């Protein structure tokens, strides 16, 4: 039984560099979410996919951020021209389709921008 | 607007004490879902419970129990006979049945529970 996996677990980069994170959801889950969590705060919603379609994006997702979910399987989150304010834990979650199903979270990717 | 408030930033208890974590939510929808998650030091959010707005029955699972009261917009979580392994940050979250069909979570800021041996 495999849960949600994320890669890498940790990423240290210099300001201005591009980074890409990967999320592999639970195989039968159609819904996929990205959240961002900063120290001492709860996770904040970034974006949502239903299969391969990106159906909602938070205003937190600036134009430097892009997410994809080709073929409705794994998803990638790319941050271009990273800034120190992008330092956070990036969490991926997946769930079944339908009303209010619980989301299952991956271990997260901790990004540090120097 | 949606909002989840966890007023207790940090709680410390001695092992075997009972502890209640508070969660107050705001929503304009009549259909919504409430959740509790545990985030141990390892960082991964672990699902504990899901409740829909039409089911106010309290629930007990081992040492854990949940009290859902729509009249006060609260969904509180009690750990009975706490153990050191319960030490973690606990998050309450709200999800609405909105027109977008996203069911994204709105999280509270979390309560850090420290159980001392």
Smallest Cβ–Cβ distance between A55 and the set B46, B93, B102 belongs to B102
Q: What is the pLDDT of residue B70?
A: 93
Per residue in B4-26, pLDDT (tens digit) is 999 999 999 999 999 999 999 99
Q: How far is CA A31 from the centre of its chain?
A: 12
Query: Under an 8 Å CB criterion, which residues of A touch B?
Result: 31, 33, 35, 40-45, 48, 50, 55-56, 89, 91, 93, 95, 99-108, 110
User: What does the pLDDT profile of chain A (114 residues) look like in tens digits?
Assistant: 589 999 999 999 999 999 999 999 999 999 999 999 999 999 999 999 999 999 999 988 889 999 999 988 999 999 999 999 999 999 999 999 887 889 999 999 999 999
Instruction: Kindly state the DSSP code that residue A101 receives in the 8-state scheme.
Output: P
CB B20 within 8 A of CB A18: no
- Closest approach of A103 to chain B, Cα-based (Å): 8
Neighbours of A100 (CB within 10 A): 19
State the best of B40, B45, B48, B50 to mutate against chain A, taking most chain A CBs within 10 Å: B45
Closest Cβ opposite residue B109 in set A42, A101, A105: A42
Q: Which residues of B touch A41 (CB under 8 A)?
A: 109-110
SS3 for A57?
strand
CB A55 within 8 A of CB A82: no
Residues B44-60 pLDDT 10s: 999 999 999 998 888 88
Within 13 Å of residue A69, how many CA atoms lie on the same side as its CB? 24
Euclidean distance between CA atoms A69 and A75, whole angstroms: 4
User: Would you say A84 and A30 are in contact if contact means Cβ atoms under 8 Å apart?
Assistant: no
Q: How far apart are CA A69 and CA A52, in angstroms?
A: 5
Q: In this predicted structure, what is the pLDDT of residue A98? A: 81
Distances (CA, A) of A111 to A86, A91, B23, B82: 8, 11, 29, 33
CA angle A12, A37, A104 (to 5 degrees): 105
Pairwise CA distance, residues B32 & B9, whole Å = 25
Residues of chain A with C-beta less than 8 angstroms from the C-beta of B107: 42-44
Whole-Å CA distances, A104 to A31, A101, B51: 10, 10, 16
Both tokens of B52, joined, read 């829909």
Residue A64 near residue A80 (C-beta atoms within 8 A): yes
Tell me if A86 sits within 8 A of A21, measured CB to CB: no
């Amino acid at each position: 039984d495999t849960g949600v996996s994320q890669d890498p677990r940790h990423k240290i980069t210099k300001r201005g560099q591009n980074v890409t994170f990967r999320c592999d959801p639970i195989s039968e889950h159609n819904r996929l979410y990205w959240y961002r969590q900063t120290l001492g705060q709860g996770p904040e919603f970034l974006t949502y996919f239903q299969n391969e379609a990106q159906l909602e994006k938070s205003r937190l997702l600036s134009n430097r951020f892009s997410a994809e979910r080709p073929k409705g399987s794994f998803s990638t989150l790319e941050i271009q021209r990273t800034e120190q304010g992008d330092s956070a834990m990036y969490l991926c979650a997946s769930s079944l389709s339908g009303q209010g199903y619980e989301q299952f979270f991956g271990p997260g990717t901790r990004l540090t921008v120097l | 607007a949606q909002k989840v408030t966890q007023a207790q930033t940090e709680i410390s208890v001695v092992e075997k004490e009972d502890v209640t974590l508070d969660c107050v939510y705001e929503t304009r929808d009549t259909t919504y879902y409430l959740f509790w998650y545990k985030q141990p030091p390892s960082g991964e959010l672990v699902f504990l419970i899901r409740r829909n707005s039409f089911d106010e029955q309290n629930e007990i699972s081992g040492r854990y129990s949940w009290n859902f009261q729509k009249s006060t917009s609260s969904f509180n979580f009690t750990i009975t006979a706490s153990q050191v392994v319960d030490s973690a940050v606990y998050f309450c979250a709200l999800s609405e049945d909105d027109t977008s069909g996203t069911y994204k979570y709105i999280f509270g800021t979390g309560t850090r529970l420290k159980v001392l041996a």
